[in-house]
Amino acid sequence: MPRLNASLLANPPQSVRVPDYDRGAVTPGIVHLGIGAFHRAHMAVYVDDLLAQDPSWGIVGASLRRPDTKDALAPQDGLYTIAVRDAAGTSTRIIGSILSVMDANTQREELLALMASPALRIVSLTVTEKGYCHDPATGELDENHPDITYDLAHPTEARSAPGMLVEALARRRAAELGAFTVMSCDNLPSNGHTTSRIVTRFAALRDPELARWIEDNVRFPSTMVDRIVPATTDADRAMIEAATGVADAWPIMTEPFTQWVIEDSFSAGRPQFEQAGATIAEDVEPFERMKLRMLNGSHSTLAYLGFLAGYQYVADAVGDPAFAALIRGLMTEEVMPTLHMPGVDLGAYRDQLLQRFSNPALQHRTWQIAMDGSQKLPQRLLGTIRDRLAADQPFTRLALGVAAWMRYVTGVDESGESIDVRDPLAMRMMAIAADAGDDPEALFDGLVALSEVFGTDLPDNAAFRAAVLAHLDSLYEIGAAQTVAEVVRG
């Protein structure tokens, strides 16, 4: 079976859509840090749709931690297959917008030189919440993060995303070049403002004059991104090979739905993203909040409760009538009243989300969504809870989501089997769980003391304590499935 590569584009399988532009004429205008599955299912597709009209916006990707993506795509000339799946079937397409992938660990200087070159106009990021080296509860740079302390001491060898951005911008300033745009595509609240705050603070710690130059010249547009992208499995690779007749080391599986809302604030121009279906907006924040609270908050709640109840996939969890009722109630009664979206039908958005969650062709694992919960919880659930507390309104279902996270991060499931908890705070949380033993109150007290997750207000809030602890007791006593059923029954 031939391996996917540029030479095969001349005679592709009839069932596969291929790039409609001369890939040899494409030049890099974008560097993307954190070139994982989501970027390749989302931004890279939008750019691919636009290269026929302007080939100067090709993407060079960079892996900051592991060389997996480079190892998979380099033999394929950066090409990969995207498979869009729903109940009606699967459609396949080859994406050519990624010209190459660099491994930042072994090609750091080459990557920094590219970021500092005149043709490079946008640096975008999907490095996940933890990649910003910040305190999720405050949105501020974690100045004691080991990568930050290293990068401040070794600026030309930066290994964090903030460190690399500042070093590249410092080089552009020294060369009297204009600044590039820094565009976060991660699920952070006001992600452009948050990224700006983190980057300028890092720069100030390094050189106050550089920080002022960045404040004056660099634009940090906020964005809202949305597409469900499960992890690729060997079965997916086999399906792509059977469908296309070509071997692809890392195809991408996704859903038909895709959304991208972008603040129109760029330092050095941008592709015409709106022509590929993106929404250009003056204020992205309401869209971000809607998505973080309704989609991501529901997803996380489903992931923790579903995993504990034995559901491997989101579609299976939401296929349980009690779980579906819980999530519908969470969005309708607890999340939607906190959102102000004139002209947006939040009920229709809710129904669309439930339909997307139930897509039987999209095998999105609850365990995958459960990763890095300590970084996600403040944005997905705790912000909504704070709004409900301020309005003196109940937050029963949101509190259950928090309690389910607490139960999950103990690292032991309801059958006594180990859970592979992937989280920057995993060791600390499991140590707390070990000290707590089978005492839910001790577990609550230990976890809520993590100020980088819960801040300083929630640990002392009696209503928050009572609501979460009641659910945590129930999860230990009767398990996730029965707890969900009882909450739905009221």
E strand or H helix at 30: strand 28-33
pLDDT greater than 90 at residue 462: yes
Percent of the chain with pLDDT over 90: 93
| Contact of 223 with 261, CB cutoff 8 Å | yes
Residue 40 CA from chain centroid, whole number: 12
- pLDDT of the residue at 11: 84
pLDDT greater than 90 at residue 343: no
pLDDT in tens, 377-388: 999 999 999 999
Identify the CA nearest to 162 among candidates 172, 152, 176. 152
- Enter the tokens of residue 346: 């939040």
- Enter the tokens of residue 43: 């931004």
Three-state DSSP string of 58-92: EEEEEECCCCHHHHHHHHHCCCEEEEEEECCEEEE
Q: 189 pLDDT band (50/70/90 cuts)?
A: confident
- pLDDT of the residue at 460: 94
Span 363-382, average pLDDT: 95
Q: Which of 9-23, 56-70, 277-291, 441-455 has the lowest mean pLDDT?
A: 9-23
- pLDDT of the residue at 122: 98
> How many CB atoms are located within 10 Å of the residue 340 CB?
9
- pLDDT of the residue at 425: 96
- pLDDT of the residue at 362: 87
| Phi/psi-derived region of residue 269, left when phi > 0, alpha when psi is between -120 and 50, beta in every other case | left
Identify the CA nearest to 327 among candidates 310, 344, 304, 361. 304
| Residues in contact with 436: Cβ distance below 8 Å, sequence separation at least 6, in sequence order | 410, 442, 443, 445, 446
| Contact of 429 with 421, CB cutoff 8 Å | yes
| Contact of 120 with 44, CB cutoff 8 Å | no
Q: 233 pLDDT band (50/70/90 cuts)?
A: very high
Strand 134-135 relative to strand 140-141: parallel, antiparallel, unpaired? antiparallel
Alpha-carbon distance of 388 to 463, in angstroms, equals 11
Span 49-70, average pLDDT: 96
Identify the CA nearest to 205 among candidates 109, 267, 123, 140. 140
pLDDT greater than 80 at residue 458: yes
pLDDT greater than 80 at residue 157: yes
Average pLDDT, the chain: 96
Q: 330 pLDDT band (50/70/90 cuts)?
A: very high
pLDDT in tens, 79-116: 999 999 998 899 999 999 999 999 999 999 999 999 99
> If DSSP codes are grouped into helix, strand and coil, which group holds residue 181?
strand
| Contact of 60 with 101, CB cutoff 8 Å | yes
| Dihedral angle computed from the Cα positions of residues 17, 23, 28 and 33, in that order, rounded to the nearest 10 degrees | 30
pLDDT greater than 80 at residue 470: yes
Predicted TM-score of the model (pTM): 0.87
Alpha-carbon distance of 488 to 329, in angstroms, equals 8
Measured at the CA of 63, the angle between CA 230 and CA 104, to 5 degrees, comes to: 170
Tell me which DSSP letter residue 347 carries. H
- pLDDT of the residue at 88: 86
Span 468-486, average pLDDT: 98
pLDDT in tens, 2-32: 999 999 888 887 789 999 999 999 999 999 9
The domains located in the chain, with CATH, are: 6-281 (3.40.50.720), 285-489 (1.10.1040.10)
- Sheet of 58-63, strands arranged across: 98-103, 58-63, 28-33, 122-125, 181-184
> If DSSP codes are grouped into helix, strand and coil, which group holds residue 460?
helix
Strand 140-141 relative to strand 80-86: parallel, antiparallel, unpaired? unpaired
pLDDT greater than 90 at residue 457: yes
